[in-house]
Amino acid sequence: MNFASVRIITDDVDRLVEFYEEVLAVSAERLAPVFAELLVSSCTLAIGHSQTTQLFGADSAAAAQNHTVILEFRVENIEAEYERLKSIVQDWVMEPTTMPWGNRSILFRDPDGNLVNLFEPVTEEAIKRFRRQALT
């Protein structure tokens, strides 16, 4: 089994697509006016309008209601990303901080309030852990 994507449900696809295009530095593929995908080397971030949830069943998902999932992206240089994103991100949760498990992270919220973590492995153990993951 392969992990394929994460989908965010929103009431404003255009706003969220524009935000993630800037954060991820990629262009979205607009497969329909109510659906877009942003492809990065490790995964796909899909963004769907709340209207699309009708296809899954009533009350299957609600826009801007996430309080449990953190979208995480590994980056090459966390300090550079922090500087690049200062003018883009409006809601910072955490400035660059080294976490107990060896990653240096920044956390912020997207325009719908979803939590995003950009991180760089910085300790020897964290670097080894991600090197092993890349090999499997």
CA-CA distance, 30 to 121, in Å (whole number)? 32
Residues 65 and 100: their CA atoms lie apart, in Å, by: 28
Q: Please give the Cα distance from 14 to 33 (Å, whole number).
A: 9
Q: Are 27 and 21 in contact (CB under 8 A)?
A: yes
Domains and CATH numbers, the chain: 1-60 (3.30.720.120), 67-136 (3.10.180.10)
- List, for residues 77-103, the tens digit of each pLDDT value: 999 999 999 999 999 999 999 999 999
pLDDT lower than 50: segments of the chain: none
Place of tokens 């080894």: 128
pTM score over 0.85: yes
Residue 35 corresponds to which tokens in the numbers above?
């659906």
Tens of pLDDT along 119-130?
999 999 999 998
DSSP string, 19-48: HHHHHHT-PPEEEETTEEEEE-SS-EEEEE
